[in-house]
Structure 1
Amino acid sequence: MLQSIHDKAKGVLGIIIVILLGLTFALWGIGDYLTGATEKYAARVDGEDITESEFNQGMDNQRQRLEQMFQGRIPDSPMFQQRMKDQVLQRLIAQRVLKKTIDDDGYRIADQALFKKIRDMEAFQVEGAFDNASYHAIVQGRGMTTTKFQNLFRNDLAVQQLQDGVMRSTVIGNGELNILNRIQQQSRDINYLQFSDSLFAEGVVVTDEQIETYFDSNQSRFMHPEAVSISYVELKSSDLAKDIAVDETALKQLYDVYASSVSSKEQRKARHILITSPADASAEEQQKKQAQAQALLVRIQAGESFEALAKAQSNDPGSAEKGGDLGWVSKGMMVPEFETALYTLEKGAVSAVVKSTYGYHIIRLDEIKATQADSFESKKAALVAQYQAQQIEDDFADKSEVMATTAYESDLGLAEVADKLGLEIQTLSAFTRGQGQGIADNAKVRQAAFAPDVLVNGRNSEVIELDSGHAVILRVEEHTKAKVKALSDVKAQIKATLSASQAREKSQAAALSALAMLEQGKAIDSEEVKKTASLVRLGSVKRDDKKANPQVLQEAFVMARPETGASGYIVVELAGGAAVIELTAVTEPEDASPEQLEILARQFQNEQATRDMEVVLSYLKSEVVIMLQPEL
């Protein structure tokens, strides 16, 4: 059974669980349960850290989403990367602020509601019914305990409560909905003349004097950026593998640890009867539930069928209909109280009443499946790989420390570091603060190279960890300050800019000339009016028409309604040219039907709730102290 669960988790069910657990991972970050308290923070919200691990995980998730959206092609420009960093960090801050709010304001999800949500998840169901073994195995497969998952999911549902409250406060009447319907469904009859800059480019003449004047007035646009060339030493864990000798004694010790862990994975097939009792129930209610469970235990001890009582009395819908059958269970799958009781039973025995966070259990152990460790010889290759990986990790850590200490203390540049560790001093040609090649493609390297202590004081950098098992120390060898480029280098660029500007002026002038003729009564399709333009007849369109130029639509739908039989005109600037828009008629829609009003109400409520939530979040942020890590 566990194998089938494993297979499903790798396939379609794996995709489902990633999506379902994605909210939890995205909202609270895996750093909550993987990182230590001493880790550096990326931001701090009222004294609570958002760790660098959480931030890095968020960046990885964002990159994966973008790569999926754009088939693996995402911009690597510094500006794009910085914008992505800002978005990820602000999202994490928003999540932490919301978490603080739901904790402070007492948003709570009752156990019954939480368990119902979990039981209703399709990912945890087998043949349409909740399957407890699938639930535990799949959650554990995502690197979480069920308790951790429940806590995170409970928080997610509490945030949803807050968002639902905001949505319910958004109210709109039928009068407003009819106005909204008229705005959305109104149609306008539109034609326009399009004047393209490219048609006016041929007659443009740009003189050397104009180029020089533009260059002198805009030198800040034509700068060679500040740049540095560096030398560096590089430590890679992959280069350390050849130096690792295999120690047979150490392999035996690793095997003993493995064998011990396997023996602890004994599986037990169990049944249970659950009488649920919320953690916040009164003492009287708790006693009542315990007595109910105790009465069932007495009936079982008197010879009644455990399976029949489970079907009739158990409050666990996932197992009750199967006579309380939980399938095969291993350590770590159940809550501690349940597990302790189960692993003290002999085969066929029934436990006393066991209290857990879910309520009161009666447990029966049906079968025991002992696990068998593989032989040392069959595991040896894996043990060698494990041993070497650990030795490489330790060796890399030791050498990184030597690398850092020597670089800090040495007055000989990188030579002493290279000699002590047997590394080669490498060089890298000029790169800027925002862009580089080789190792300088990594923002950490550029940041270190332009740090004042390295750039100005001529010191070696600190150890820069580029990736797991990959570190460098660098030193600036040459620093080139920003300077203005030679006119000859940018002359063609300036000429193109001025040519485009003059062509734009001519297309605008032609559009204004056409407007004047139209206002004098000339027809839009007359040769005199359209001689340097192309005429586009849109006809009757709505404001969300997908085929029309969106800039034209936007301007046309804010034009004043023309009088009957007349037309209105306006000149607008377009990307690559200009346009003269002619509005000939405005047609109002009929009043919306009740069904249409209902659809509009939902649409408006969702959009307005999103805007309101942004306002709420902005206010909540203003009420807490937020600190950002400047070196991020």
Structure 2
Amino acid sequence: MLNFIRNRAQSWIAWVIVGLIIIPFALFGLNQYMGGGKDLPAATVNGSEITKRQLESAYYRQRTRLQEMFGGELPANLFSEQAMKQQILQRLIEDEIVLQQAAKQQMRIGAVQLAQEIRAIELFHNEGQFDPQQYETLLARQGMSPAYFEGQMAQDMLQQQFRNSIHASAFITPTEAAAYYQLQHQQRDVGYLLLQPQSYLEQTEVAEADIEAFYQQNLPTYRTPERISINYLELNQADLAVDIAVEEAELQSRYEAQKLNYRTEEERSAAHILLEVGGDEAAVKAQAEELYQQLQQGADFAALAQTHSQDPGSASQGGELGFFGRGVMDDAFEEAVFTLQAGEISQPIRSSFGYHLIKLNEIRGGESKSFAEVKDQLKQEIQQQRSDEKFYDLADKLANLAYEHPDSLVLAAEEIGLKIQTSELFSRHRGGGGITDIGAVRQAAFNDEVLLNGYNSEVVELDKNHIVVVRVNERIAEQQQPLEEVRTTILEQLRQQQAVETAQKEALKLQQQLAQGGELDPTLSWERIEALKRSATEPDPELVRALFKLPHPEQAPLFDHIELADGRQAVVALYRVITPELPAEGPSQLTRLQQALSEYDLQATLDYLRSQAEVVIPQ
């Protein structure tokens, strides 16, 4: 019955809307507060912006869904805010690419089509029919206008239309399906020998002339990029909060003013007997009153519930509903439950589902936390509030002073009480530690106004309520590294190169020797694998892929040489190709392949569109 009633309650509806549609989640950063320049977008796709607000809103929705899955708390070792935001941003980029491609193909969602889709959502139904008033009311409760919701709905439908068009184009014949199945499930009997380049390092000899020649041929490789160090002022709201003192009396006063906020939610455990109303309501009511009289005379509630209750979800459990709070059940049902004392049984209660007899089992929660329990929380709230106010005041002052006195940070540091800090050297694309590892800081420092004209930068937002202003302290131009500085690096590169070449020559020699029927040196380790699968990860995924690219041997065994990406050399033999029989369930296999092919086509299309798109993610 709990689910039976909850599924019709407004509170449940609100949570479904949270899961289905976009929640306006306004997040105001420093730029909005200060009225400064336009904030950088989270990304741009072919010139169209994905705003930070969109990213934060999508992140909030995803986090809320995951919290519900994990019972309220996300395991810190499994979820990283930064990683989650990156995944969500990539999804938003893909969605924008899909929308742009759909527009290019002149795909449209018509007004009638959109209306039909919305009218089909049971959430907006009343007595089985779409209810415009309920539609607008539910959206308003979530802070949305119908126009906003319909715009988001149309975008979702347009994306799905594009994806469906790719799925529909996938086609595979039974013959192709059979060939694909046999190829994927093919097995091979193979042998291999791996030669490690490191084993040949001692045989290498690199002349000085070779080192000098390599250096001259690769001069651009051995240049240090332009580097700078910066002076900067850093303002962090978290640092301000630590220094804010709060008197005990103020904490006590706030506690008394907000005492109701510190009550734990009262929950009640109840059982019920439901009699649904059919044609003769009077007869149902009379039956409910008869059962009530039996209960008053000592009849067992659970036994009567099992015999008479028409709630399929709880009858077999003796009518037990478990614990629930306010705002979950039908209004009449809830009012009765929260009026009863533990152990009491209600008289027949009429709800939208029928007549109920309700037994209250237990009450928990509803108590207020003591001052001692919430004292630290109150202190943090006050410190947060005051440090926020102080931060925005100082941030405004810092922005103005840095702009009005662009040739120095000294005055701003003195007025605000900040220490001028200095970074290590760093380049445009590589930080030197600390704040210079943040792309936005490097971008500001290498801005022409800062780098060439020597001005203070604009305010750079590192995080929420965490900003810096920077200026160049030292600048070192791009330089050619002298040979002596990179000699050891070049020597090692050439030795590795020679070792790979030596191993390659040895592998080719062994391949020819085996192909001519020769025997391997007993000190070499030849490995044999029977029925190797295409999906195998041992002995090495790259080697397995290469072995399955070898042609069927006309005369077994077939010997070959394979060079792996890390320089290892493999001498291999293909003894036999094992082609599997086709499974009996032909049609179902074809369907699965069709689905797999359509997913592959869709992903390949999306990957191609992404490769052709101009995507910019500010650092």
Task: Name the TM tier (shorter chain).
Answer: 0.5 to 0.7
Shifted more, 240-249 versus 574-583: the winner is 240-249
Aligned equivalents of 2:92, 2:43: Cα separation in 1: 9
- CA gap 1:195/1:385 in 2 versus in 1, 3 angstroms: closer
What's 2:599 paired with? 610
Letter aligned with residue 551 of structure 2: A
Match of 2:582 among 588, 592, 597: 592
User: What does 1:562-573 align with in structure 2 at a 5 Å threshold?
Assistant: 562-564=553-555, 566-573=556-563
For the 8 Å contact 1:274–1:316, the answer to whether it is kept is no
User: What does 1:81-480 align with in structure 2 at a 5 Å threshold?
Assistant: 88-95=88-95, 104=109, 175-241=175-241, 243-246=243-246, 251=251, 254-255=254-255, 257-261=257-261, 304=288, 328-330=324-326, 347=339, 373=368, 382-433=377-428, 434-480=430-476
What's 2:519 paired with? 525
For the 8 Å contact 1:436–1:446, the answer to whether it is kept is no
1:505 aligns with 2:501: yes
Residues 396-432 of structure 1: per-residue CA shift (max 9 Å, x gap): 2211221111111114511011110112112122122
Aligned equivalents of 1:203, 1:36: Cα separation in 2: 65
Note the residue ranges of structure 2 that are not aligned, 5 or more in a row: 1-14, 33-38, 67-73, 126-140, 293-303, 340-345
User: What does 1:22-101 align with in structure 2 at a 5 Å threshold?
Assistant: 32-33=24-25, 35=27, 41-43=41-43, 50-52=50-52, 55=55, 88-95=88-95
Percent identity over paired residues: 27
- CA gap 1:309/1:467 in 2 versus in 1, 3 angstroms: same
Aligned equivalents of 2:611, 2:273: Cα separation in 1: 50
**How much has 1:299 moved relative to structure 2?**
6.9
**How much has 1:507 moved relative to structure 2?**
2.6
Aligned equivalents of 1:293, 1:162: Cα separation in 2: 48
Aligned equivalents of 1:93, 1:59: Cα separation in 2: 14
Aligned equivalents of 2:182, 2:425: Cα separation in 1: 61
- CA gap 1:617/1:182 in 2 versus in 1, 3 angstroms: closer
Residues 441-467 of structure 1: per-residue CA shift (max 9 Å, x gap): 333322322233222222212333334
Residues 354-374 of structure 1: per-residue CA shift (max 9 Å, x gap): 7xxxxx899999989995656
Matched residue of 1:429: which SS? Answer: coil
- CA gap 1:535/1:316 in 2 versus in 1, 3 angstroms: closer
What's 1:280 paired with? none
Matched residue of 1:94: which SS? Answer: helix
Aligned equivalents of 1:202, 1:374: Cα separation in 2: 74
For the 8 Å contact 2:59–2:88, the answer to whether it is kept is yes
**How much has 1:488 moved relative to structure 2?**
0.6
Match of 2:483 among 471, 484, 487: 487
For the 8 Å contact 1:294–1:353, the answer to whether it is kept is no
How many corresponding residue pairs? 532
- CA gap 1:510/1:239 in 2 versus in 1, 3 angstroms: closer
Shifted more, 255-264 versus 573-582: the winner is 255-264
Matched residue of 2:202: which SS? Answer: coil
Matched residue of 1:230: which SS? Answer: strand
Letter aligned with residue 25 of structure 2: Y
**How much has 1:568 moved relative to structure 2?**
2.5
Match of 2:569 among 578, 582, 590: 578
Aligned equivalents of 2:351, 2:227: Cα separation in 1: 73
Matched residue of 1:183: which SS? Answer: helix
**How much has 1:209 moved relative to structure 2?**
1.5
**How much has 1:486 moved relative to structure 2?**
1.3
Cα RMSD for the two superposed structures: 5.9
- CA gap 1:441/1:48 in 2 versus in 1, 3 angstroms: closer
**How much has 1:57 moved relative to structure 2?**
8.4
Letter aligned with residue 488 of structure 2: A
Letter aligned with residue 255 of structure 1: Y
Note the residue ranges of structure 1 that are not aligned, 5 or more in a row: 1-20, 75-80, 116-143, 276-291, 355-359
For the 8 Å contact 1:251–1:383, the answer to whether it is kept is yes
Aligned equivalents of 2:456, 2:511: Cα separation in 1: 67
For the 8 Å contact 1:191–1:538, the answer to whether it is kept is yes
Matched residue of 1:475: which SS? Answer: strand
Letter aligned with residue 557 of structure 1: F
Matched residue of 1:93: which SS? Answer: helix
For the 8 Å contact 1:272–1:326, the answer to whether it is kept is no
- CA gap 1:265/1:177 in 2 versus in 1, 3 angstroms: closer
**How much has 1:302 moved relative to structure 2?**
7.2
Aligned equivalents of 2:121, 2:203: Cα separation in 1: 77
Matched residue of 1:330: which SS? Answer: coil
Matched residue of 1:435: which SS? Answer: coil
Residues 503-538 of structure 1: per-residue CA shift (max 9 Å, x gap): 22233233334444455xx324255xx99x653333
Matched residue of 1:240: which SS? Answer: helix
**How much has 1:53 moved relative to structure 2?**
5.2
**How much has 1:218 moved relative to structure 2?**
0.9
Matched residue of 1:488: which SS? Answer: helix
TM-score after normalising by structure 1: 0.64
**How much has 1:494 moved relative to structure 2?**
0.8
For the 8 Å contact 2:255–2:378, the answer to whether it is kept is yes
For the 8 Å contact 1:342–1:365, the answer to whether it is kept is no
For the 8 Å contact 2:500–2:568, the answer to whether it is kept is yes
